[in-house]
Every structure is written in structure tokens, then in C-alpha cells.
Structure 1
């Protein structure tokens, strides 16, 4: 794919070069309404001081000393919330062009995402995590699953055990489960993971089944597909008694759900292809990637096995399952599976919010699922997810109240990742550069 040299230079410079505000050791937000996310409340007229990658002080204006030489950001008329998380995201493998990887990471950040749990690792990707988490690349903080456990990568229980041990030794943050494992292979993986203290999550292999996966200590269940399969949701209305039992098991086991509802609506045909193609955020991606998505959706929907009515029932069943999980107190984590079909990094999160609201989640509960609750999930790794002293300085400055409406999370005036501040003008310049780059191809 040919690219104009000027556009390439502009993008690389935009992704790598820090701004003056980011270079400052101390940043202070003054006169801002803090959305702390320790509980459902806002704190008007506050000052927040950040030193390095940590929040140093939070208090009413006049009660917090702003150090000399601090970069001061006027927060009057704005809201300061914790940065968001993409808890089922992907980043390109090391074999991908470096600029594509940097662009992907920036797209997450541009939409207020300051933490990404990458759910499909590739050999060599841990170096990207190091570079991202030390600020060499403008990026959210990364937590990465290793290469997946699936029917192609694992052929015996012994191999499953060895693979767990190797991924622990390599330093991956968690194990990713895909379909295809036999029950014996899954059990060997789970037992070894539990012994060595590494978490695992993702899909539910058909031979394993949801209840056995819950009992085995699988921590996250992504896409709700394991529940849909256990309840045979595509066949019609789910059995409420059976659903209630699964909800109770899930809550008792302390599992986490990463729904990715919008993606599955795309896969199963809830939106016309013309609507998907009109998403404005597609302008920030390589045209070949977008056309590849178009071809995939066309292939799915035109296949001999595609049943539009069964797809409609499945989507309705998934909605019912998520409503029941939320109502039953099972913890929901924000996530979209980006970048996948028409699920653009960062932007896809804002398309997920209406689905979460439809499941009965309030604006506070939606924001909680991507901030304080994520901090709880990663509590053994770091302290973040709340606007409070000692927390990692992951923040999003908003032009509207996110507790009034979740759509206001898109009204971004600036983003701070590990103390590095990127204002609206900088975000727009980088996005404009991406748009220009791909419009020229």
C-alpha cells in the first residue's frame, strides 16, 4: 500500500513526539468538577494535582497548594473522571507495521481509554507492553494475554500444562481461552494456572461447558457467548429458571463479564451494512481493513447457514442474559473486542454504551464498569480507577457530565495517561493527520 511520505512523517511525529504539557513533572486541574467514582457523586470546584504518573492531591479550590512551575489546566465548566478501560481489546502483533500499532494505541487513547486488556498475545508483544507502559509510545497502559489456548495450539493435557508454565515464565498477564480445547486439556490448563496464580478468561470451549468453566476458576467470560450457548438462546426465549441459576453460580464464583454486545449485533445482522459503512470513525483506518470487514459481513449474511430469524432470537437472548447478570449483581466490565468488524478502537466503546444502558445499567454503573471496577480487577497490579491521591494519573477531562448521560463520555476536552496530558487540540491534530493519510490511499 502506497503512502505519501509527508503523511507518514506527520503520523509518526504525532504519535511519538510529546507536547510541552506532557513533559511537565506537575500538572494541576483547577476549578473542575471531579467525578471521583468512589461512589455516585460529583465534587464541584476542585483542584487535582498530578505529579509524575500519580495523583498527588484532590481537594476544594483554595485548599490544595499548586506547586510552582506546575502546568495549570482550567477546569471550569468541565468534569474530570478516571480514564476508561477497554477490557477486551486487541493490539496488532509485532509482525504488523510499527505505524499501524502506534495508530491503534492512539485511537484507543483519543476516546478516553487509558487501560487496555489485550486479549490475544503474539510472540514479541511483551516488548510493546514495556514501551507503552514506560511512555516510549503514546498509549494506554497495556495488560496482555498470551497466545491463545485453542484447538490448534493445544493437542494434549501435557501440552496445555507446558504452555501455561511457559506463559507464566514469559511474563504474560493472563491466559486467553478460545474454543476447541477438550475438557482434559482445559482442566490441565486451569489446574496449572490456579496453581501458579495466573488468571485466565475468554471463551467457553463446547466440551467444557459454562458451569464447569465457572467451577474451574475461569475469571472472565467474554462476549456472553458461553451463557448464550448454555441457554440455547438462538432457539427462542431462554429458560428464566435456568438463567437465574447460572446468574447465581456466576455471582457466587465472583466471575466478571465482558459483554461486547455491539460487535455481536454487527456479526448477526442487527444493523444494515450501509449503516455500518457510514460510521465516521472508519476514516481513521486503512481502507483495505474496512473493505475486508465489508467482505466478511457480506459473506456471513449471504451464507447458506445464515438464519436471520435465529440471529434475531440470539441477539434478544443475549440482551436478556446481560440484563439478568447485571440485575443479579454479577460484575460487568467495559469492553468491545476492538478492532473487529466495524469496531474501531476507542470509538467502539461509545457504541457499546447504549447496549449497556438497555441492560438496565445507569450512567454511573456504565462508567463504574470501565473505571473503579477495572481498578478492582487489577488491584494486585496497580492502583487506579478512582480520582484520589496515590492512584495512577489516568484521567479524562469532559465538557459534559458523564453521570447525566453516558454519551457525554464522548465530549472529551483532553486525556491524561500515566500523567501525560494530551489536550483537545493535540487529539484533533493527530486524528486529522490519520484521516488525511488514509484519504490519500
Structure 2
């Protein structure tokens, strides 16, 4: 059983960035190291409010105090950050991201991880595991490598890796023993294989998410416990007729089932516009963030775009636009219906550069009726709720992991202000704006146009 053409496109994220140079280590934050953000406006994401004139104290990798500046004592010897006029939010998340495999050059891996951090992404759920990546997770968690906290899916369950229910059972148990955080579903599984995977995952305490195999269908996948539906996969297929028109009643039933099951959707809307060639190539090539990508990668993305545009599968521009509009309709219905939405873009991918790709996603989320607070929640509080059995983060409160984003302007007034970064804190490690700029310039220098 082989994967469908579009599924092969997203089956493996394109490798990003250039040649190897020696990697640099990142010292682990000491348990007693203290940082205080003083006189800042805190956006705690526990609810929709802003708290001006507050101080947040971090010790090691945890928030230890939050309160009005006059009532919070800052320990002697603390790093004091004057944040007057600035805004502090929880760090963001990329819930359908990728990290390079261990076979990639060390510098490429280091650069990809930093690109996430440079845009305030302090948590990445990696959605295509490769042998040896668990060591990368350990290195970042120990502070040996500067990067976001990683939660990693194992190698995917698909029509090539699974050829029987017994195969599915074996793979689940192997991945549980190896220590992967979740299972990744790709197209190609038949229903018996999918059900064997789902039942064994439940027995082993493993969550799973990703695509919806055609033979399984959205509603059955929800019933079997799939926790995330990435790329809004399955919703249009379930609710649309042969001409691509959405049946609102069927869509609403899918939304209700999603919410009732506690499942979530990771939209990746901007990428799908690239894959269906509804965005002009010239506009994609004008993205300023391509300066952080190798020339070879950009050329491969151009070649893939042109090949799709010339293929029979994508030859009808009107049909492509209808599909994108149907996806937008599905996202709007999911939001209105109260289904959980998680921030994600499928980076690095074709014209989807880590971190920067989030800002390509925000206009699509706004068009679906989401407010700046709603959008911010998809990358903070909602993600913390999803990972609550792993760690406490996603809001600004005592005991939460010290993943923080300091901004020069209010993101609740305009979500575009999430780009106005004064600094990022990842597990207590403070990265000020000048260090971010210096490191980004070094990445750009390694990838001359």
C-alpha cells in the first residue's frame, strides 16, 4: 500500500540550512540562578487579562513568584531585567514541527533549533521521529544544546511501515520501550491496522495523532482515541460533497465529536496554500525569512512547487481554491464550536521556516474568527493543557516552567506584536534581543543567496 501523492509531500519535512561547522554547547541553567522581570505587564494566559506593573521571578527553570512589583521581593544577586513598557507572555509552541535527524550536520540541527527560539517558540512537538533523535531530546533538556523543549513522535505508522495488525502492535510496543512521547499516524493504514495501533497505544499509555487514513475516516479515528488531527485532516473529506461544498450539518457533527472527545486540531493552513499552489511563487520567494535557509533547500522547494503546478492532481486552480476555502470553513467551525486548536505550521517545510512560519499562520486564524487572545492561547495555555501530564507550562504562574516571551508591544492589541521580541526565556535560560539578532545574522551568513 503506497502513500497518496500529497501525503508523500508532507511525509518528510524538507531538510533545512547548510553545511556543518563545529557545534557550540549551551551551559545548563543552575538551580539557584535567579532572573527577575520587573515592572512588566504580564499576560498570564490563565484568562484574558493583562496585569501591569508586575514582577516575575524565575529560579532555575521555574517561575517562583508573580505579583505587583511592590509586593515581590527580588533576591540579592538576581539578574534584574527592567521591563517597564514591555509585555510578558508564556513561550509559544510549534505543535507540528520537525527537527533534523541525527544524520544531519550538527550546525544544521543547531540552527533549526535556534530559529524556533528566535521567534519565541519554547516547545516543539516533533512529528516525524528518526532513529537517534531521542538523544537530541536529552541534550536539549540537559542544556547541552540551546533549543526548545522537545516532545517527539516516533517513526510514523503508514502504509509502508505497517503491513498487518501485528505489525502495528509490534511498532507501538517498540516505540513505548524506546521512550517516544507519542505515535505519528500517516495515510495508508487500513482500519484493522489502525485499530490495532489505537488499542495497543491505549494499553501502553501512549497518545497518537497526525493524519486520518482514508480507510479509517475522521469519525472512527475520533472514536478510537486519536488526540490530534494535524492539517485539519479528515474534516473536509468527511463534510464535503464531490464538488468540494461543505455540508454545515456534517461539519458541525464532526466539531461536536472532536470537542466531546477532548481531541484537538493543528491547522497548518498556510502550508496547505503552498502545497495546493494557491499562493503565487513570486510572493513565496519574497519571504524575508528565506535568508535563513540554504540555497539548495529553496531551489528544491521551487522545483516541488513547479512540479505540483504542472501535475494533473493540481491542474485545476479553481478546485484548489475551493479546497483551501473549505479548510478555512472547517477551521472557523472548529473555533466557533469550542474545539481545542493548537498552534502549528509543519516547519521546516516548503516555504515554512521555523518560527517565522507562525506569523504566516496568524492571518488565517484571524480570518477564521479568532481574536488575538484566542490565537495566543493556541500556542500557550492550550498546549500546556495538552502536555499537563508531562510538565506544567503554558501560563505564567508559580511552579510553571520558565518559558517566557518578552515583547515590546501588546499582543492582545495586535497578534503581529508577537514579532516585536525583546527577549526569550527557555527553561530559565535568558536570550536577549541582541543575542537573537547576532545568532540570526550568523545563520544568514551561512546561507548566502
TM-score band w.r.t. shorter chain: over 0.9
**Does the C-alpha gap of structure 1 residues 111 and 23 become closer, same or farther in structure 2, counting only changes over 3 Å?**
farther
Q: CA deviation at 1:234?
A: 7.1
Number of aligned positions between the proteins: 432
Residue 58 in structure 1 maps to residue 66 in structure 2:
yes
SS at 1:88 equivalent = strand
Q: 2: CA distance between counterparts of 1:289 and 1:405? A: 32
**Kept in 1: contact 2:240–2:247 (CA 8 A):** no
Tell me the residue number matched to 1:85: 93
Cα distance in 1 between the residues matched to 2:30 and 2:363: 33
Q: Which residue of 2 aligns with 1:342?
A: 351
Stretches of structure 2 lacking an aligned partner (at least 5 in a row): 1-16
Q: Deviations over 1:21-43 (max 9, x none)?
A: 99981101111100100000001
Specify the SS of the correspondent of 1:150.
Answer: coil
Q: Residue 215 of structure 2: which of 202, 207, 211 is its match? A: 207
Residue 237 of structure 1: how far off its partner (Å): 2.1
Post-superposition Cα deviations, 1:194-248, rounded to whole Å, max 9, x if no partner, equal 1111000000000011111010000000001211112236723201111111111
Whole-Å Cα distance in 2 between the matches of residues 46 and 225 of structure 1? 42
Say whether residues 1:249 and 2:261 are aligned partners. Answer: no
Structure-2 residue corresponding to 1:333: 342
Q: What is the distance in 2 between the residues matched to 1:109 and 1:18?
A: 16
| 1:266, distance to aligned residue in structure 2 (A) | 1.1
Q: Give the Cα–Cα distance (whole angstroms) in 1 for the partners of residues 169 and 420 of structure 2.
A: 46
Q: 1:17 & 1:131 partners in 2: Cα distance?
A: 10
**Number of the residue aligned with 1:394:** 403
Q: Would you say 1:360 and 2:354 are equivalent positions?
A: no
1: CA distance, partners of 2:260 / 2:18: 56
SS in 2 for 1:300: helix
1:409 matched to 2:418? The reply is yes
Q: Is the 8 A contact 2:30 2:60 kept in 1?
A: no
Q: Which moved further from structure 2: 227-236 or 323-332?
A: 227-236
Match of 2:204 in 1: 196
1:94 pairs with 96, 102, 109, which one?
102
Q: Mapping of 1:24-423 within 5 angstroms? A: 25-232=33-240, 235-306=243-314, 307-423=316-432
CA distance, structure 2, for counterparts of residue 171 and residue 407 of structure 1: 37
Measure, in 2, the Cα distance between the counterparts of 1:188 and 1:237.
33
Tell me, in whole angstroms, the C-alpha distance in 2 between the residues paired with 1:197 and 1:327.
Answer: 31
SS in 1 for 2:447: helix
- Aligned mates of 1:111, 1:60 — CA distance in 2: 28
Question: Residue 381 of structure 1: SS of its match in structure 2?
Answer: coil
Offset from partner CA, 1:250-271 (integer Å, 9 cap, x none): 1111110000001001111221
Deviates more, 1:297-306 or 1:232-241: 232-241
In structure 2, how many angstroms separate the alpha carbons of the residues matched to 1:330 and 1:61?
Answer: 37
* RMSD (CA atoms): 1.8
Structure 1 residues 229-238 or 383-392, which shifts more? Answer: 229-238
TM-score (norm 1): 0.95
Q: Which runs of 4+ in 1 moved over 3 A?
A: 16-19, 21-24
Q: Partners in 2 of 1:83 and 1:305 — Cα distance?
A: 39
Deviations 1:138-181 (A, max 9, x none): 00000000000000001110010010001001110000000000
The separation in 2 between residues aligned to 1:233 and 1:192, in whole angstroms, is 34
Partner of residue 13, structure 2:
none
- SS of residue in 1 equivalent to 2:312: coil
Provide the C-alpha distance between the structure 2 equivalents of 1:18 and 1:423, rounded to a whole number of angstroms.
Answer: 16
- Cα deviations by residue, 1:82-135 (Å, 9 ceiling, x for unpaired): 000000000011111111111100000000000000000011110000001111
